[in-house]
Amino acid sequence: MTYDVDPNNLTLVQHEYNSDQQGEVRFVKATDGLEVHVKFVNNKIVDGDHYRCDVYLLDAAEEFIAAAKVKAGVNARGIGGVEERLIDEKIPLTPDELTRLSKITVDFGQFDGVDDSETWRRVGEAIAKYYFGDAVSPT
């Protein structure tokens, strides 16, 4: 999902991957660039995932100035609380680039191709087999 942000009105951008997984990004202008603060949240009991937040800085003609690509893996929460990953990046910009900055495009996505729930099912089977032998299966 892609969002456009006005660099003169830097708002918090929130994205919901699904009811258990969210991402957000906020920006802070600095004299030498743009600070990018990203948070990924995973509230799934099993199946950790990998998240991405791509930030593109464009001028008035929508020509590329700079970018940041933030990625992180976030474990499932298990029986504990919500898992979060906070990542801070800085996109260095010259004074001219800061002046030309007219649009910020944010693209959230996931790049996890593996369903970890199958792995955890096998771990459960191995634990049951270790403690109870072949006669017992947790599924």
Whether 39 and 21 have beta carbons less than 8 Å apart is answered as no
What proportion of the chain, given as a percentage, has pLDDT over 90? Answer: 45
Residues, the chain, total? 139
Question: Using one digit for the tens of pLDDT, what is the confidence trace for 56-109?
Answer: 999 999 999 999 999 888 887 777 788 888 999 999 999 999 999 999 999 998
Determine the average pLDDT of the residues in 29-35: 93
Give yes or no for residue 21 having a pLDDT over 70: yes
pLDDT at residue number 107: 93
